[in-house]
Structures are given as structure tokens and as C-alpha cells.
Chain A
């Protein structure tokens, strides 16, 4: 990774929820998509 690479990844604390970081990231992305879907429904709902 070029000059002076940082030390290889090593977790400094236990992963707080869902077991792994990729699962946490997936949860964030799913929730963001859900919020956008709700916003779209809010915008188009026939009040």
C-alpha cells in the first residue's frame, strides 16, 4: 500500500452488534434505503 503503510487491520474492541462490521454496514445501508423509500412514499402519498 505504498510508502509507510499503516499496520494491518486489527480490531481494538469487540464488534458492538451483529457480530461483524460488514453486517453492521449492511444494516446501515438497508436502513438508509428504507428511509429513502419512506421519504418517497411520504412525498407521493395522496393526502
Chain B
């Protein structure tokens, strides 16, 4: 990074922390601290909802995925607009009128204390562990690409977020999210514009899209009925719908955002704002990744995108084997460039076949390098998708702009972390401390305890992130952990609002059955994870109704 890049990044960090402090003034009670006094307008809440969802790894991982796999990941978001409408009609009015702080608080009013406690505990467990991974993943990528110290990157990213969230609570979270989301939008347009501008002379956007199309990178609508094929239209529409209903309807990190709206109308509008903008935004991010893919047809791409693993390969692989592999890879890259230019000029089937053969040979050469590095690492799976976009930024963006895009990655990480610290503290304070330890206390004491919980969760996230390097495959377990019960928690909420007859016993044991069903499906079938939420929600809903019907009626 150049000095100008450093200046841009530091200005961003100082400005966002100062802004967080300034906007977070005036918290007098926990309703101010956790729900911003229920005073926020729809556009601020809407941008905060969007910023909380888009983490750094979503931003850099999605562009990398478009590079390697194309744009079909877009269908992941197809269920979102429908989920937002369903939530506006069902859960949002219930939460809003019940004047709750947490989504789980509502479940005690509807069912019983143990259902509330269990769902809140599941949220704390999954979100508490995953927030560490949310911090670790971009810190690792940035430290590897930029050569920074990994602990220093974690502490810079996590620490700067903790200080303003501890002081200002949800007001700081929402207002900094607004600024960070605007920075992210600016960064997305900037990257897209730079990627278009960097196409070779005489090679237009239409040519780039033609090349991407012939490489399969523009394939989005896969109508395969297979449940194991990733990102089909149906898994996006149905599985994605249930996932988004779970995330936006039952995950406190999102529920808390729209509970801060000044009215039910404002809360609903904040979600509908996302329903309009989310798919176009993801489309633009993915298209930028596709343009980076086209860009590297005309510029040398590294054999491996992770420089640390590349150095390991250079020092540990047999030299003659590596030299031969490099020569094969460079020859294939040169052949792919020539054949790409020829195909774009002629558009004949023969030229297309030559281009596709060159692409296959290039992929095979890289596949050999991946196998070599996996052998060196004792068989551990190698994936460098998340390193592609940061490598491109650093190598090919002008000085200043590279720093700005690194700031965008920080903004994406911090906007997610801030919402998660705040929501973890809220669930701990409202569902456990105030429920079981100290139901009433002075505003001053409750505010102090709330800040303490925020600091503790922030510190815990940093600790998990600092230790994550030694956790190995446990990280994957943490990432999968949430998907086991996300849909099941949604099933409990569906029982609560859709069925007047569902009883507490049905909800509690239905939740257990739902989680067991998802675990069984993930363990014993090849069903893609987007369907887990459908399985969980349906299993809880059906078993909850059956258990209620078989149970003796309560005297009340």
C-alpha cells in the first residue's frame, strides 16, 4: 500500500469512530442504548439492515466466487424480496406492537419462558461464535495480501468497532452503518467502473460479456430440480425465501435494526427498501467479479492467489516439477489470451472451441498447483477464492483508490460486527440478565451493565478471531452450526403467529425435532444447505402442531 492509501484508510477509521461517538451521545436508558430510543427513520434503518448483512467476506468472497464460478450465486438472494413482504405482513407488526427488545422476548408472551430462553441461547451460541469468524476471515485475507500482522489487523478492526458501540449503542451502530453502507455503495460503483475502464483497447463491455458468457460465467438461471445442485432457481426462490425469513425475522442482529424504527410504517419501509435494492446490488458485485475474470485474460494472473501458500509451494515443492508446471500454466494463459481475442473478433464456433480448450488447459494447470499445495499441507483443502479480489485491488488499482477499497472492506466488516456486538449484548441483557438476575434496576446501572456486555462480546469476538488460526476445521463447524437451527427457530415463530392453537409444549419439543431433522438431512443426504431452513421450519411447524394436538389441554 502507498502512503496515500494509508492516509485514506486512517482517515476512514478515525472519521467513523469519531462519527460513532458523536451520533451515540445522549443514551439515558436501555431503550436508547439498544433501540436508539425507537426514533429512527426508514432510510437509516434500511441502510443499517443492508450494512449488517453485507460482511467483508460477503464483499470479497462474492466477487471471488463470480471469478471462479460465475454469477449463479445471485439466486441466493431471489427469495429476499418475498421474505421482506411476508415479514412486513406477519412478524414485524407482532414484534412492533408487543414493544419487545428481542425477538425471543415475544416467544415468552406467546408460549413460555423456556422456549424464549432456548431460542435466545441458540442465537447467543451461534452468533457469538460466528462473530469471531466474521472478524477473523477478512483480517486473515488482509494480513496475507498486505503483509500486515494478523493479530494487529484483528485488533484494529475489532477494537475500533468496540469503542463506538460500547459508548453509543444502537444509535452509533445505525448511523455508522448508514455512512459505511454509502461508502460500500461508492466502492462497488468504483470497482465496477475501474474494471470496465481497464478492459483492453478496442475491447468493449459487450465483448467482455460475450467472453464471460462463453466461459459460463453469466449462467444464472439453473432450473435443475435436483436438491443437491447448488444455487438452482428453486433453491434460491424457496430455500432462499426460508433462509431470509429466518435471518431477517428471527435473528436478533436484524430484528433489532427494524425495532429501532419510529413507527411500524418506518420499520416496514426499511425492509421493503432492502427488497428493492438487494438483488441489484449483489448483481453489480458479482458482475464486477466477472469483469475481473475477463481482466485477467489480458494480464498475468498468479498460479495461486494466496501468496503465503504460493511461497510455501515454491520452498517445498520439487523445483523441476514446479518449473514445468509454471511453464505449462504460462503457456496456457498465453494461449487463452490469443484464443479469446480471436473468438471475440470472429465469433465462429471453431474459435470458441479453441478458446474453451485453452480455458480447460489453464484450469487443469492450476488444478495441479492446487493438488501440490494440498499435498504439502497434508491433504487439507485449499481454497483461495477470497484472495482474488483483494489481490486485484492491490495490484491494479491506482494509489489512493486501493486504500479506499481497503476502507470499503473495513466498512463492510465493521458494519456487520457493530450490529452483532449490539444484538448479542441485547439478548444477554434482556433475555438473561433482566429476566433471571435483576428484573429492575436504575437506568444508570442498566446502561452500565449493557455497555459491559457489549464490551465482553466484543472482547470475546477478538479472542475467538485471535485463536481461529489454531481452530482449523472447527471454523467450518461454527459456520455450519447456525444452519442447523436457523430454519427451526423460524418454525417456532411461524407456530407463534400463524396458529392460534399451537401450545408451548409443541413449540419447545418441535424445536428439538426440527434441529434433529436438519442434522439428519445434513449428515445423511447430499441436499444443498439452502434447503436446510425449509426442512427445519416445516419439521418444527408440523411436529409442533402434532405435539399440541396430542397433549392434554392446559387449564389456562
Contacts and interface: CB of A to CB of B under 8 A. Distances in A.
Interface of A: 1-4, 6-7, 9, 11-16, 21, 24-25, 28-29, 31-32, 35-36, 39-40, 42-45, 47
Contacts of B110: 2-4
Given A6-B93, A6-B98, A13 B263 contact: yes
A36 B263 CA distance: 31
The 7 closest A-B pairs by CB, nearest first: A32-B81, A47-B210, A6-B97, A13-B265, A4-B109, A43-B220, A12-B263
A13 B268 CA distance: 11
B287 to A, nearest CB: 9
A3 to B, nearest CB: 6
Interface string B193-221: 00000000000001101100100001111
A47 B209 contact: yes
A25 B30 CA distance: 33
B131 interface: no
A29 B276 CA distance: 9
Nearest to B283: A39
Chain B binding surface, main DSSP class: helix
A9, A15, A45, A47 pick with most chain B CB within 10 angstroms: A47
Contacts of B534: none
B502 interface: yes
Contacts of B279: 32, 35-36, 39
16 contacts: A2-B110, A2-B496, A6-B94, A6-B98, A9-B93, A16-B265, A25-B89, A28-B84, A28-B85, A28-B275, A29-B81, A32-B82, A39-B74, A39-B221, A39-B283, A40-B221
Contacts of B210: 47
A1 B98 CA distance: 13
Contact of A43 (B94, B109, B219, B268): B219
A12 to B, nearest CB: 4
B545 to A, nearest CB: 13
B497 interface: yes
Interface residues of B, number: 43
A32 B94 CA distance: 25
A2 B221 contact: no
A29 B82 contact: yes
A35 B220 contact: no
Given A3-B109, A47-B213, A39 B276 contact: no
Contact of B500 (A2, A15, A28): A2
B180 interface: no
Interface string B47-73: 000000000000000000000000100
B280 interface: yes
Contacts of B429: none
A28 B496 contact: no
B365 interface: no
Given A13-B265, A32-B78, 16 more contacts: A1-B497, A3-B556, A12-B263, A12-B264, A16-B269, A25-B88, A28-B85, A28-B272, A29-B85, A35-B279, A39-B221, A39-B279, A40-B220, A42-B220, A47-B209, A47-B213
